[in-house]
């Protein structure tokens, strides 16, 4: 069974950097899109960054210019490089993957697009 496992979270001061990783294990299938989402306490889960299998990326406005999503398909690993972190970036970060064809259209940051989810890794940014 395929599984997504995040790592790399931690506590940093504002202005610092972290690199999150998401490793896929088990029988890895082809994915159409991979993404990072985050959920802060008391808030809804929101999309942060998306990468297509061919490499096209999309970002939420709140992280543009600070976060970079990338993938290494030879290692079945997804990354999120986070620079110039702000206290408002504090959240649980989840990786997600779409490995099933969807006949209906879902937005790139719509959770309904993704059928695989990791357990999350905590990022805390202090001021």
| pLDDT, position 104 | 81
Q: What is the pLDDT of residues 59-108, one digit of tens each?
A: 999 999 999 999 998 889 999 999 999 999 999 999 999 988 887 888 99
The share of the chain scoring above pLDDT 90, in percent, equals 81
Half-sphere exposure of 7 (CA within 13 A, CB side): 4
Provide mean pLDDT across the span 8-34.
91
In terms of C-beta density within 10 A (0-12 exposed, 13-18 middle, 19 or more buried), how is residue 35 classed? buried
| pLDDT, position 28 | 65
Rounded Cα distance, 39 and 52, in Å:
22
113's CB contacts (< 8 A; 6+ apart) are: 33, 35, 98, 102, 106, 107
More confident residue, 18 or 2: 18
Helices (H) and strands (E) in the chain, counts: 0, 11
The rounded mean pLDDT for the chain is: 94
Rounded Cα distance, 98 and 96, in Å:
7
pLDDT band at 27 (very low <50, low <70, confident <90, very high): low
Q: What is the DSSP letter of 87?
A: G
Q: Are strands 67-72 and 77-82 parallel, antiparallel or unpaired?
A: antiparallel
């Amino acid at each position: 069974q395929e599984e997504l496992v995040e790592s790399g979270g931690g506590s940093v001061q504002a202005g610092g950097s972290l690199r999150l990783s998401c490793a896929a294990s088990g029988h890895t299938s082809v994915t159409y899109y991979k993404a990072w989402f985050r959920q802060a306490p008391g808030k809804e889960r929101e999309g942060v960054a998306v990468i297509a299998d061919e490499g096209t990326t999309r970002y939420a406005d709140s992280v543009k210019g600070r976060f970079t999503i990338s993938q290494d398909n030879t290692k079945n690993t997804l990354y999120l490089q986070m620079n110039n972190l702000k206290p408002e970036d504090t959240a649980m970060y989840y990786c997600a993957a779409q490995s099933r064809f969807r006949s209906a259209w879902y937005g790139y940051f719509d959770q309904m697009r993704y059928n695989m989810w990791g357990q999350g890794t905590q990022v805390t940014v202090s001021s």
